[in-house]
Structure 1
């Protein structure tokens, strides 16, 4: 028997059953669900940072995007709406592609 105690994708219980095993699951209340999405996000970000091939990195980025999608659904919105907000912010403040690192700001 293996213990996991973590948020899993919706179809994982069916996959476990199809492999002849029995999963024990529960449905999380809203507050705990959000906490576990955050935990899962940390896990997937760590996996991205540790990935050593482009394919593996892209897999982990897709997992992160799925978690962002879950948070968007929780907020009653879509990835499309979030992407529109992202574009507006990028237009107003720029993105991160220039790699600018702010060290300090001094008064004149």
Structure 2
């Protein structure tokens, strides 16, 4: 099959799993400067996978997203309890998503040249 270049952050045990499957791989430990951008790229990757997941796989993908978010919180020194507190405050101030409100448009009421409000 040949060499496949990945250039991405992987879970800690992935090299071990690859080698146990009889394949070879090359890895390196990211620097502090490289780590957070790699985590953010991994977060985007995992959210894309969640968006494309079959219903039976959504729980697995949600777990993967949460794993990356936990790693980001640790890298930034953010406590999970603090995130939960902020989340609760935001929910109180702005609401959640349970009522499924979809914003179609807004209007500021100011007239623009050649247009009246409501047009």
- TM > 0.5: yes
Unaligned segments of structure 2, at least 5 residues: 111-119
Task: Measure, in 1, the Cα distance between the counterparts of 2:37 and 2:107.
Answer: 34
Task: Measure, in 1, the Cα distance between the counterparts of 2:67 and 2:108.
Answer: 40
Which of 17, 25, 28 is the matching residue for 2:27?
Answer: 25
Whether contact under 8 Å (1:69, 1:78) holds in the other structure is no
Deviation at 1:75, TM superposition (A): 1.3
The reply to whether residue 75 of structure 1 matches residue 109 of structure 2 is no
Provide the TM-score with structure 1 as the length reference.
0.84
Provide the TM-score with structure 2 as the length reference.
0.77
Which of 4, 9, 16 is the matching residue for 2:18?
Answer: 16
CA-based RMSD of the aligned residues comes to 1.8
Give the structure 2 partner of residue 89 of structure 1.
Answer: 90
Deviations 1:78-106 (A, max 9, x none): 33331222112112221122222332141
Deviations 1:26-70 (A, max 9, x none): 1112232211212111211111111122x3111111111111101
Which of 44, 47, 50 is the matching residue for 1:48?
Answer: 50
Q: Secondary structure at the match of 1:2?
A: coil
Task: Measure, in 1, the Cα distance between the counterparts of 2:41 and 2:58.
Answer: 19
Task: Measure, in 2, the Cα distance between the counterparts of 1:43 and 1:68.
Answer: 12
Give the direction of change, closer, same or farther, for the CA distance of 1:105–1:79 in structure 2 (3 Å limit). Answer: farther
